[in-house]
Amino acid sequence: MNKWTLALAAAGVVSLPAFSPAEEKPNQVLTALSGTTISGYVNTSAHWVPGSAPNTAAYSFGGSGSKRDGFNLDVVDLTISKPLEESAWSAGYKAELWFGPDANALGNNSLGSNESDFGVKQAYVELGIPVGNTIDVKMGVWDTIIGYEVMNAGDNPNYTRSWGYTVEPTQHTGLLASYKVVDWLSVSGGVANTWDSRINGRAPIESVKSYLGSLTLTAPESMGCLKGGTLTAGVVDGRTTGSTGPDRTSIYVGATIPTPLKGLTAGLAWDHLNLADKTGVSTHDTDVYGLYINYKATDKLTLNLRGEYIHWGDLAGLSDAADPAAPFSPGDEFTEVTATIDYALWQNVITRLEYRWDHDLGQNGGQHFGQGTRDNDHLVALNVIYKF
């Protein structure tokens, strides 16, 4: 009997069958809960912005300046799930819920707004189809399949999100199928209502859907020091909720590369976002090139470095959604460097100190940080996450 079932019994939510030597029928409630697990985390931070001017913080979950110079609850994640089993025709589910200020930044509320500090991050039914190595099918709301970074901050090498993550889609409502062809090749493909994260969002034309696919290559043991390295490529194409405008096409290519030096790993990422011909805009493409260096110095100490070059195109209001004060326009160019010290002192706790510098290259004239008053953004952050 798993801990989740015992906890429910202790709280009086379910009752346990009485023990007797006679054979009894299985309890339907306990059978349904078998294999269910609860997990999640509490994510907190403290931000300091050197100087008196507010930082732009237009990157995802930056807080649009509201997190500066103070302590913050970022988000509480609660996940209830049952993974697929090895048996044929196995079924499972996941319900991942967010509570706290970052839940508002999801922007996926089915009514079109997030103003309650609550959000559904993922909620899907998972089905195993016993064909070959088993086709894994998810139906509901699930995380996008492209990108070097993910939505859960503790699963990324750095605390703040990259610009590459910021220009990517984040979630979809639809059907996704994944399949492990061989040990070194996995593929996935799906269809969703829209490119954006709105739950149950719809394009104005019912027949217009968003399509996505990806493949991942994993280096086998025969490749020596490159063993375990990955190369992923993916594309998402579709329209945003209610939009009659051009398609958005997101292309991603990323790699994680082990090196001969013990504990040192490198990563590369390219994010491309294209808006098909839009009247009055000369620069339709946004490109973000990212470099990641991760060094595990000791069992407890890890050093992470990220650098990015961004060529900003027409994002059709994405900058306004991230931060209304962000004066980015097509043709702007800027860079970002983030250095993170991660030290695991307490069990189940992520503790890291981070410095981030965003710099406007001024190729398109003007200043584009601090509400258009300067060329540089600086942030020092302390991030503490407890995972359970």
Which residue's structure tokens are 């493949």? 215
Residues 6+ apart with CB under 8 A from 284: 274, 275, 276, 277, 278, 313, 314, 330
Cα distance between residue 377 and residue 369, in whole Å: 6
Judge contact between 367 and 375, C-beta under 8 A: yes
Please report which confidence band the pLDDT of residue 187 belongs to, taking 50, 70 and 90 as the band edges: very high
pLDDT at 22: 46
Name the token pair of 208. 């217009």
- Encode pLDDT of 35-66 as tens digits: 899 999 999 999 998 876 666 678 899 876 67
In our burial notation (b when 16+ CB lie closer than 10 A, e otherwise), range 42-81 reads: bbbbebebeeebbbbbbbbbbbbbebbeeebebbbbbbbb
Of residues 92 and 29, more confidently modeled: 92
Name the token pair of 175. 């059907």
* Selection from 58-72, 177-191, 200-214 with the highest mean pLDDT: 177-191
Helix ranges (H only) for the chain are 3-10, 28-33, 101-104, 163-166, 318-322
Model confidence at 15: pLDDT above 80: no
Pairing of strands 349-360, 333-343: antiparallel
Cα distance between residue 160 and residue 74, in whole Å: 11
pLDDT at 322: 38
Mean pLDDT of 78-85: 96
Name the token pair of 324. 């209304």
Please report which confidence band the pLDDT of residue 319 belongs to, taking 50, 70 and 90 as the band edges: very low
Please report which confidence band the pLDDT of residue 29 belongs to, taking 50, 70 and 90 as the band edges: low
Mean pLDDT of 239-263: 90
- Encode pLDDT of 259-279 as tens digits: 999 999 999 999 999 887 555
What's at 29, amino acid-wise? V
Please report which confidence band the pLDDT of residue 325 belongs to, taking 50, 70 and 90 as the band edges: very low
pLDDT at 19: 43
Helix ranges (H only) for 116-193 are 163-166
pLDDT at 279: 55
Residue ranges and CATH numbers for the domains of the chain are: 1-33 (no CATH), 35-387 (2.40.160.10)
Full-model pTM: 0.87
CA distances from 374 to 260, 358, 362, 366 (A): 42, 11, 10, 9
Mean pLDDT of 331-351: 95
Name the token pair of 252. 């991603």
Model confidence at 361: pLDDT above 80: yes
Of residues 19 and 8, more confidently modeled: 8
Of residues 371 and 328, more confidently modeled: 328
Residues 6+ apart with CB under 8 A from 26: none
* Selection from 98-107, 284-293, 295-304 with the highest mean pLDDT: 295-304
Residues 6+ apart with CB under 8 A from 34: 2, 5
Model confidence at 316: pLDDT above 80: no
Pairing of strands 210-218, 185-192: antiparallel
* Selection from 6-15, 26-35, 187-196 with the highest mean pLDDT: 187-196
Name the token pair of 197. 């994260």
pLDDT at 211: 97
**Among the listed residues 122, 125, 142, the one whose alpha carbon sits nearest the alpha carbon of residue 90:** 125
Cα distance between residue 84 and residue 99, in whole Å: 26
Model confidence at 14: pLDDT above 60: no
